[in-house]
A and B are shown apart, each in its own frame.
Chain A
């Protein structure tokens, strides 16, 4: 395997020495571009008290190309689909190489705090969210209890 770019080494070190509150990211021993991630549900959101598992991969072209990120834990959210794919502009069309693993994960955490049902990925969830926000949030809380319990 080609040697790891300095930027990735630096980012990894900083994630360990100066971790972001509520977020962990650790590379796999056999693939240093592949990270095991956990994100705590933001307080005040339906995901509060939940711990969500994610995976993150830095493609060969990183940082010219965005990291790939996916939820492993089931989650009821209008911008996250059943396979855990995330609809977030900075992961697609609005990526910038000035962003980093930590900023990406913070954005994902922020997405949990403020779902955006007008730009949905999981269509049925978004519909539910628009029609009956209280009910949808209740479902999200139940799913957090069921699948993301710490």
Chain B
């Protein structure tokens, strides 16, 4: 049988490489200190693990391959940002957060200082803007620390004992990653908590 191709319609698809974390884990295993075999079971497991609920931006809860709430077209104009803590967000989402004074420059998930993961590049105009924001935040934090220091010094000189208030309401969990974890809050000795 002869087939003549008259017309062809190529279809392309793309997605952000959010498996970098999985690959890192895999590569750090000395036994696999080579290019990861993407057909291996371990890698498939890590992929699936990452692909569940986790593949949404922790700020807007839209898939990484989608767009932030203010963009229409996914891709270069609304890229993904990977932090050195391995938490990823839409560029615009994390930018808006880090630009608020409440953020104190911290990652929404793990509350470490948010910086770009060095191995993962983002597009130039975005990268530039981002670095500026991070250094602005750093300056702001340093200024605040200085102020606090000065205030403490003043109080000490004035003979006032500064009593550090215990601020911790014990309800924050360090891992804010998945919903399931968040629901497990330690209620001290309250066994009958769940009703």
Contact = CB atoms under 8 A, between A and B. Distances in A.
A118 B165 contact: yes
B193 A10 contact: no
Nearest to A96: B108
Given A64-B100, A93-B102, A103-B182, A6 B69 contact: yes
B192 interface: yes
A98 B168 CA distance: 19
B183 A20 contact: yes
A44 B69 contact: no
Interface stretch (A27-35, A107-115, A141-149): A107-115
A107 B170 CA distance: 9
A93 B172 CA distance: 13
Contacts of B97: 64, 97
A93 to B, nearest CB: 7
B59 interface: yes
A100 to B, nearest CB: 8
A5 B69 contact: yes
B59 A113 contact: no
Contacts of A45: 190
B169 A111 contact: yes
Interface string B40-74: 00000000000000000011111000000100000
Given A94-B172, A97-B59, A98-B108, A43 B182 contact: no
B194 interface: yes
A90 interface: yes
B88 to A, nearest CB: 12
B189 interface: yes
Interface residues of A, number: 40
B132 interface: no
B193 A42 contact: yes
> Size band of the B side of the interface?
35 or more
B172 A118 contact: no
A119 B193 contact: no
Contact of B189 (A7, A44, A110): A44
Interface in A65-108: 65-66, 79, 88-90, 93-100, 102-103, 106-107
Contacts of B58: 97-98
Contacts of B100: 64-65
Interface in B5-51: none
Interface string B157-168: 000000001111
Contacts of B192: 43-44
A6 B93 CA distance: 14
By Cβ-Cβ distance, the 5 closest A-B pairs, closest first, are A43-B192, A98-B108, A107-B171, A98-B176, A110-B171
Interface of A: 5-7, 10-11, 20-22, 40, 42-45, 63-66, 79, 88-90, 93-100, 102-103, 106-107, 110-111, 113-114, 116, 118-119
12 contacts: A42-B187, A43-B193, A63-B59, A93-B102, A94-B172, A96-B109, A99-B182, A106-B185, A107-B172, A110-B171, A110-B185, A114-B169
Interface of B: 58-62, 69, 93, 96-97, 100, 102, 106, 108-109, 111, 165-172, 176-177, 179, 182-183, 185, 187-195
